A and B are shown apart, each in its own frame.
Chain A
């Protein structure tokens, strides 16, 4: 789960990481009030979860309360990479002397947390890594050992932070790592970490939490906005819905459609051991999507039983109002029984995934 910047900064603040004075608003009127209360100039930052917000015009500065009203109005109509702006974080405009970069991520291949730090803050860090890799310090933390303040200082020294700032910056690194651990984060980033005449402050914040650990993070549970789906379900832009059991098999079903010239409309993984009801729910879900012209159900039963799948299919076919062509690939556990149920109901099926994918593509094409 990704947090919005203002939520990340709330966590930072609560854990002793210095952030700019700020307030979250949802309307231009509120923004104007805050401008009057805070004084100016102010930064207005659109709260979205996608990256590239600055380049998309999602961050603006205002010099008067009336200008604040105008800008807030504009921002609240903005859509950034498909995400509408619903909230704006208003902050004091910082007097920037220099900008640093610090982050902690879970390094999948090293299987350890990775601290990255650079004096080249404010930029796209992937660019720094490519163009001047010597300016990006990387430090892996052994998960079974305690991370200590002196190690954070060593990172700050390696970064090339000027002497008077070493303790300050290493303090941020240490605390950022501490909250990475405390909240089961997978990403925790401050970019930029800004040096101002009044001190050092986290000007931006990114924080992403492991969904699998939310059960033990009561402090964060109230931030959860999305409902947890029954299935792993992703909408795509094609016209053939792909349903499969297992992530790899469902992905492969999509790929096979493409191989035969078709385009997937959904990725829907019903997982292992799906019941008749699960199958019916999954089919209902994709059939209700008007973009879908053909459904490709790709099941190789392991824990999932082919007879359950066939039963679920028949139930949906009997009840649904929208008639939609359905191509079924059904093999695996209890396949004889599953295939018999389908045959008895006059529903055809394939046993090869690839043949079924090809058939689904032909059907979609014939409907165009």
Chain B
């Protein structure tokens, strides 16, 4: 497992909002170590057994906290992220539609503070058997040896459920987020899986847009020894159109599925033609 383990003690920012309430319950149902919540002005309230504070600093005076998950609306997300980055080691930003000028500030500040940022616009991270900081359905995951990284939410669920059905499981699954700029990228997550003794192979799910997959391919060739199986969505996507995710757009010659698949194959990565092939290949490898 990576990033999310038994030592993670998380606060929920925006716990009293609609999204925050719904997904906090989901995280608790999966036995995640959620220790507190914040909403400015609602300090002193309760969410079930959990205390709500006005700020992270206030919560930290009473509790040991090292991670945060953010559900606050986009206009306030940068402020919430800064609050978390300045005091914690891990910040998961679920919020969609954060202006990219805010995201680059968040990412740069996190780097200065040596804080891990996952997202924005991510389904989050799940370590089966330990917990989830995210919004994914949990029944499709099971403890195992495949490390899963993805830019897409539902496609992660598709592949994870097939891996589970194949009798394998996942060490940790992490959605890096569908925005043009995100905190953790493929390479840094792959490196963590490489060093994780519970992970035996990695599944990487990419999509059109940007060059994160190409950069990852270079990284894999240089530094990754464990097997990596990839799938890239968007072979049929036309150029110049944003395909759902803000980041999923082919601009000029760059960002095509073809370029990503070719670069990955050159780096020795097996690229599946269909999502279900990932589980089939994993079964052979493991």
Interface residues of A (CB under 8 A from B): 106, 108-109, 111-113, 126, 142-144, 181, 184, 186, 210-213, 215-216, 232, 234, 236, 244-252, 254-259, 264, 267, 269, 271-272, 300-303, 331-333, 352-354
CA distance A106 to B247 in the complex (A): 12
**Residues of the A chain whose Cβ atoms lie less than 8 Å from the Cβ of B224:** none
**Residues of the A chain whose Cβ atoms lie less than 8 Å from the Cβ of B244:** 232, 246-248, 250-251, 267, 269, 271
B153:A246 contact, CB within 8 angstroms: yes
B100:A255 contact, CB within 8 angstroms: no
B236:A247 contact, CB within 8 angstroms: no
**Residues of the A chain whose Cβ atoms lie less than 8 Å from the Cβ of B123:** 302
CA distance A303 to B157 in the complex (A): 11
Convert B215-228 into 0s and 1s, putting 1 for each residue whose CB lies closer than 8 angstroms to a CB of A: 10000000000000
CA distance A250 to B158 in the complex (A): 12
Can you give 18 A-B contacts (C-beta < 8 A)? A109-B212, A111-B181, A143-B101, A143-B104, A186-B180, A212-B97, A212-B98, A215-B75, A232-B242, A234-B243, A246-B153, A248-B207, A251-B207, A251-B244, A254-B234, A267-B243, A303-B135, A354-B275
User: Known interface pairs A249-B154, A252-B275, A353-B158. Does A109 touch B100 (Cβ–Cβ under 8 Å)?
Assistant: no
B238:A302 contact, CB within 8 angstroms: no
A302:B236 contact, CB within 8 angstroms: no
Q: Chain B's nearest CB lies how many Å from the CB of A156?
A: 24
CB-CB contacts below 8 Å: B237-286 with A: 237-238, 241-248, 252-253, 257, 273-276
How many residues of B are in contact with the other chain, CB < 8 A?
A: 60
B178:A108 contact, CB within 8 angstroms: no
A-B contact count (CB 8 A): 162
Convert B71-88 into 0s and 1s, putting 1 for each residue whose CB lies closer than 8 angstroms to a CB of A: 000110000000000000
User: Known interface pairs A108-B247, A109-B210, A251-B243. Does A212 touch B99 (Cβ–Cβ under 8 Å)?
Assistant: yes
CA distance A333 to B157 in the complex (A): 11
Complex A-B, nearest 9 residue pairs according to Cβ-Cβ distance, in ascending order: A248-B152, A247-B244, A246-B154, A248-B155, A213-B99, A249-B154, A269-B244, A251-B233, A232-B244
CA distance A216 to B154 in the complex (A): 30
A252:B104 contact, CB within 8 angstroms: no
Most B CB within 10 A of own CB, among A232, A247, A301, A352? A247
B180:A144 contact, CB within 8 angstroms: no
A302:B137 contact, CB within 8 angstroms: yes
CA distance A252 to B74 in the complex (A): 28
B235:A246 contact, CB within 8 angstroms: no
The residue in chain B whose Cβ has the minimal distance to the Cβ of A209 is B99
B155 in complex: contacting residue of A111, A184, A252, CB < 8 Å: A252
User: Known interface pairs A232-B243, A250-B244, A354-B276. Does A258 touch B157 (Cβ–Cβ under 8 Å)?
Assistant: no
